[in-house]
Amino acid sequence: MKDIKKYQGVIPAFYACYDAEGNISTEGVKALTRHLIAKGVKGVYVGGSSGECIYQHVDERKAVLEAVMSEAKGKLTVIAHVGCNNTADSVELARHAESVGVDAIASIPPIYFHLPEYAIAKYWNDMSAAAPNTEFVIYNIPQLAGTGLTMSLLKEMLKNPNVVAVKNSSMPTQDIQMFKDAGIAARGKGNFVVFNGPDEQFVSGRVIGADGGIGGTYAVMPELYLAMNEHINKGEIEAARAIQYDADRIIYKMCEAHGNLYAVQKEILRRMYGLELGGVREPMPGLIPEDEAIVAEAQAMIEAAIAKL
């Protein structure tokens, strides 16, 4: 690994930015990128779950990444999620991601069909071969992908020198330790990264060994995760935990809405900062009028939690 420091920190999962007609808004993408740079985050994770990648076409995902890079290159660590529901499209996005100079590519395992581990390894290695000069991050998110990363599959993938990290969104924080142990055994200390995925467990994940975090709620309240991370780095666990509790209460409140969490978060960013990022793409449910009180309360909770820092 060239530089582990570029992965150590708070890396928001980037949101899908749509215009009024529901098409990709590159202006919205650039505005959100500038906003996150100003907030002081370490990087961005583009085209993941929070980016609604599964609902977008290959050309749309290329346009989003190019718009992010036009603002972020040299200022943020950029990890591009390139996984699609087939190998050919994933390979095309991997090649494109390398061509625009991302720091790393990432991918979920194949979704819908539960494939044998040798097929999952080939899916990932084909993407990596299309981006031979780019580091590769395995994205473990069994609750959405339907397939979990096993130790045998990780050991197989560690034969690929470009595999430098796991983004671990599984809920057992012990998985972070197991993946870290295997990575260090293969690469040596300081040469393998595990990112914490569940935002509700940012502190737990960092304490058990995650080098940084990638999360879908970071972008709506980056100040909280930046503060948690700083407290953890100083060994101030009690202070980090207090902020984690605030963040969790906010996540639970946002999840009460009829509209999807991503729709709630984008609406809060519009109200707090004037960022026009649109709604969510169907079949994901958008906000309904009855969500107003929930959105307003979640925004007030975010503002109060930031004021306490």
Q: List contacts with ligand SI3 (CB under 6 A).
A: 13, 48-50, 141, 143-144, 169, 197-200, 215-217, 251
* CA dihedral of 31, 36, 39, 44, whole degrees rounded to 10: -170
Please, are residues 164 and 137 in contact by the beta-carbon 8 Å criterion? Answer: yes
Q: Residue with the closest Cβ to ligand SI3?
A: 48
Compare residues 156 and 200 and give the one whose CB is closer to ligand SI3: 200
Compare residues 141 and 287 and give the one whose CB is closer to ligand SI3: 141
**CA atoms of 147 and 144, how far apart (whole Å):** 8
Pairing, β 104-107 against β 135-140: parallel
Burial class (CB in 10 A: 0-12, 13-18, 19+), 21: exposed
| Number of residues that make up the chain | 309
**CA atoms of 219 and 114, how far apart (whole Å):** 32
> Which of 6, 42, 167, 253 is labelled catalytic?
167
- Minimum separation from the CB atom of position 189 to ligand SI3 (A): 25
How many separate helices (H) and strands (E) can be counted in the chain? 12, 8
> Which of 15, 123, 139, 225 is labelled catalytic?
139
Compare residues 199 and 211 and give the one whose CB is closer to ligand SI3: 199
- Minimum separation from the CB atom of position 168 to ligand SI3 (A): 8
Burial class (CB in 10 A: 0-12, 13-18, 19+), 187: middle
Compare residues 110 and 197 and give the one whose CB is closer to ligand SI3: 197
- Minimum separation from the CB atom of position 251 to ligand SI3 (A): 5
- Minimum separation from the CB atom of position 139 to ligand SI3 (A): 7
The response to whether 288 counts as a known ligand-binding position is: no
The reply to whether 167 belongs to the active site is yes
Pairing, β 10-12 against β 104-107: unpaired
Residues of each annotated binding site: 214
Residues of each annotated binding site for pyruvate: 214
Q: Point out the residues that are catalytic.
A: 139, 167
